[in-house]
Amino acid sequence: MSNSAQNVIDWVSGTPLRIFFILLTAILTQSFGTRAISRAMNRLATADLVPGPRNIVARQKERARTIGGVLAATLKALIWIIATGMVLGEFGFNLGPLIASAGILGVALGLGAQTLVRDILSGVFMLVEDQYGVGDEVVVLETEGVVEKVGLRVTTVRGKDGTLWYLRNGEILKVGNQSQSG
């Protein structure tokens, strides 16, 4: 084998192969993680958590679907942030200063993006308190319609006239949920 062919084989078996395995691992982890979250949420949706006459199975399914979507999106973001960092490391980028500056960047973002932080915190509390979920008929601000998607930052509501409204969770001060019966 010639010297140049050996150099090509050495190069391909080095960085490109490691990057391929990083990306393959990220894809497989995302696939298995999403499937595990989906299975767990399906089990949660069908479990009889509130036995007796006040069994609210439909509401439980909606909440499980909403939480499952948020968990899957969070898992996807974490996996690809880690994979991107590992690929950059393979290209020779020094990640030490980048990781060290993440703390400083976090403080700057916290101060500069207070509305984003407020939206996300409101979204977390909204999910925990089960104020509304996908499929609920709600009145939010001056918007009345059906919740199509619930995220940590934005809730999407389809108005009665067909308009799709994007509502920041931090701006939602009052919600009327017509789907929840007491």
| pLDDT at residue 120, as a whole number | 82
Q: How is 75-142 classified by DSSP, letter by letter?
A: HHHHHHHHHHHHHHHHTT--HHHHHHHHHHHHHHHHHHTHHHHHHHHHHHHHHHHT---TT-EEEETT
| pLDDT at residue 11, as a whole number | 67
| pLDDT at residue 164, as a whole number | 93
pLDDT in tens, the chain (182 residues): 677 777 767 666 778 888 999 999 999 999 999 999 999 888 877 776 655 545 566 667 777 777 888 889 889 999 998 999 889 888 888 888 877 777 777 777 667 677 777 888 888 888 777 788 888 899 988 889 999 988 888 999 999 999 999 999 888 888 888 877 65
Same domain assignment for residues 2 and 87 = yes
Token output for 4: 């140049």
Q: What is the CATH number of the domain that holds 122?
A: 2.30.30.60
Same domain assignment for residues 117 and 73 = no
* End-of-domain residue from the set 93, 114, 141: 93
Quickly tell me which residue has 């389809």 as its tokens.
158
pTM for the complete prediction? Answer: 0.57
Give the domain range for residue 49.
1-93
Residue 49 exposure: Cα atoms within 13 Å on the Cβ side: 13
Q: Total domain count for the chain?
A: 2
Same domain assignment for residues 76 and 119 = no
Same domain assignment for residues 139 and 171 = yes
